[in-house]
Chains A and B, each alone.
Chain A
Amino acid sequence: MNVLLLKSVKEIELEISQEFEIFDSWMDRYEYIIDLGRQLSSFPDEWKIEENKVQGCQSQVWFKTELKNNLFVCQAISDSAIVSGLIALLLRIYNQKDPSDIVATNPTFVSVIGLDEHLSPTRNNGLNVMLQKIKNDARNMVLDQQLKTKLN
């Protein structure tokens, strides 16, 4: 099955933290994040609707999540370059995952990659809100799956 070939949330978090270890200045870290944001796959304008908008960020952020082949699939974008970079990291960690894995794992990558001082979830950059959105949507998918199993 697909799931077995995929890395877990924890494994990817570890991978990202190893990548960030090579940067010794904040500028390099930010440049890398900005670059990751630029590589986000395109987000069609017709998806930029109120329903997909994540409220509570200083920048505009859109998330489109769905359950595909029992996996959490998400596309997202922001009009802020730095927030788009954060989105790229989030998607790398959470995309194509079993929703229950997402619900069960608390993210640690922010502190591990040395950005907690600048991008801690309490700061108003929307990271916290985006994490909540991912977790909420994943939780709803798990609940839906459980409901379907029961009904069957």
Chain B
Amino acid sequence: MNKAFNLENIRKDFPILDQEINGSPLAYFDNAASTQKPKAVIDAIKNYYEQDHSNVHRGVHTLSVRATELYEESRTKIAKFINANTSNEVVFTRGTTESINVLASTLSGLIKQGDEILISTMEHHSNIVPWQELCIRTGAILKIIPINKLGELQLDSLEKLLGKKTKIISVTHISNTLGTINPIKKIIELAHLYNAYVVIDGAQAIAHTPIDVQDLDCDFYTFSGHKLYGPTGIGVLYGKENLLNKLPPYQFGGEMILKVTFENTSYNSLPYKFEAGTPNIAGSIGLAAAIDYLNSLPLNLCHQYEMEIHDYALDQLKSFSNIRLIGESHKKSPIISFIANDIHPHDVGTILNQKGVAVRTGHHCTMPLMEFFNISGTIRASFSFYNTKNEVKQLIGGLGIAFKMLS
């Protein structure tokens, strides 16, 4: 089936895009922070609350059965989207941050003093701090896989860092600041030679590349719904079934139990073991609606188009002589980070906002990476398939004004 990519129709699916900011049409280039939501997602959440809401599981009445079916259907759709072996491998969380925290907390039991955890220079704080805390608790050592000046992971250094003591490698699939696509399949292969567990931060990648967790053979893959055109507050922790079964529960309470007496409690099976309390039912339904929506698009062409927009913007940016690109990996996703001589990124962002252009400025929660490049922050434009060349022109025009005012 060959579906055509129709930008005009796609834009109509995102009601929020059709508005003015400070008298200019909105040009939204903050997609790496959060993507906008298609009407299908908004409607799914609305319909759920208007027609089907009740608490999930164990209810005999119709609404509870409907809510449960929708919730579990969402899990199945997500499992299929990432090609998990079974929907038991899909645990709902609040987002990537919580998914990584679940792992850093529950993997603790397998870690002893002197063991090594590997992360990379380009990690988001949520893939640094939970592991630092794990190291403090267990006496394990956090080691950093270096990157080169282009912002690419140095695989030869990784090979040297790997050893018998390596227990966990947690790396990002795509850098939220640099746009670098990491060779995670190769990393997973290398790590497994040493029987280390591999955690992938897929927060960015999930929206820009097809994910097949079985093909990747990663042990854990994490992502957030809101960066995949779904709602905030819902995310996914994928884990291989045998590994998730090995790990202890993360939180304790309702839903995650099998039997409770005052003397003893036995825990529920996967994935409920990790889902204590009433889950974010509407969030999961919204995320499934986002996946349905994406599946209705020619997703490959969407990804291709995002890179076209990225390349076009990159080309246009070359007209400015004061710009230094941060992140020039040979394999990139549609994210451009740059700085402009001595001009503060925050000032550029403020002026761009006056022209209706939404970019993110600052350290993007990657302070060690900023330190590596010896900068305090960047201006980041991150693209989605709903962005247009005209919006890029608006960005370039806004930058021209900002640089003139601030130089």
Closest residue of chain B to A60 (Cβ to Cβ) is B376
CB atoms of A30 and B346 under 8 A apart: no
CB atoms of A81 and B343 under 8 A apart: yes
Closest residue of chain B to A25 (Cβ to Cβ) is B354
CB of B406 to closest CB in A, whole Å? 5
B64 an interface residue at 8 Å Cβ cutoff?
Answer: no
CB atoms of A81 and B354 under 8 A apart: no
CB atoms of A34 and B405 under 8 A apart: yes
CB atoms of A30 and B362 under 8 A apart: no
B382 an interface residue at 8 Å Cβ cutoff?
Answer: no
CB atoms of B344 and A81 under 8 A apart: yes
A79 an interface residue at 8 Å Cβ cutoff?
Answer: yes
Closest residue of chain A to B363 (Cβ to Cβ) is A58
CB of A45 to closest CB in B, whole Å? 16
Which chain A positions have C-beta within 8 A of B353? 118
CB atoms of A30 and B405 under 8 A apart: yes
CB atoms of A27 and B405 under 8 A apart: yes
B22 an interface residue at 8 Å Cβ cutoff?
Answer: yes
CB of B204 to closest CB in A, whole Å? 22
Give complex CA distance A82, B347 in Å.
6
With A34-B406, A118-B354 in contact, is A26–B22 under 8 Å at CB? yes
B401 an interface residue at 8 Å Cβ cutoff?
Answer: yes
Question: How many of chain B's residues touch chain A, expressed as a range?
Answer: 10 to 19
B361 an interface residue at 8 Å Cβ cutoff?
Answer: yes
Which chain B positions have C-beta within 8 A of A82? 344, 346-347, 350
CB of B362 to closest CB in A, whole Å? 6
CB atoms of A59 and B354 under 8 A apart: no
CB atoms of A58 and B362 under 8 A apart: yes
Question: How many of chain A's residues touch chain B, expressed as a range?
Answer: 10 to 19
With A31-B405, A60-B376 in contact, is A26–B362 under 8 Å at CB? no
CB of A62 to closest CB in B, whole Å? 14
CB of B402 to closest CB in A, whole Å? 10
Of the candidates B343, B346, B351, B353, the one having the most CB atoms from chain A within 10 angstroms of its own CB is: B346
Picked from A30, A80, A83, A125, the residue with its CB within 8 Å of the CB of B354 is: A30
Picked from B22, B362, B401, B406, the residue with its CB within 8 Å of the CB of A81 is: B406
Closest residue of chain B to A117 (Cβ to Cβ) is B22
Q: What 0/1 pattern do residues 24 to 45 of A give for CB contact below 8 A with B? A: 0011001100100000000000
CB atoms of B351 and A30 under 8 A apart: yes
Which chain A positions have C-beta within 8 A of B377? 58
CB of B322 to closest CB in A, whole Å? 14
CB atoms of B401 and A59 under 8 A apart: no
CB atoms of A27 and B401 under 8 A apart: yes
Shortest 9 CB-CB contacts between residues of A and residues of B: A80-B344, A58-B346, A82-B347, A81-B347, A59-B346, A80-B346, A80-B347, A26-B354, A81-B406
| Chain B residues close to A by CB (< 8 Å) | 22, 343-344, 346-347, 350-351, 353-354, 361-362, 376-377, 401, 405-406
| Chain A residues close to B by CB (< 8 Å) | 26-27, 30-31, 34, 58-60, 79-83, 118, 125
Extra pairs beyond A30-B354, A118-B22 (4, CB < 8 Å): A81-B406, A82-B346, A118-B353, A125-B350
**12 A–B pairs (Cβ distance < 8 Å), ordered by A:** A30-B350, A30-B354, A34-B406, A59-B346, A60-B376, A79-B376, A80-B346, A81-B406, A82-B344, A118-B22, A118-B353, A118-B354
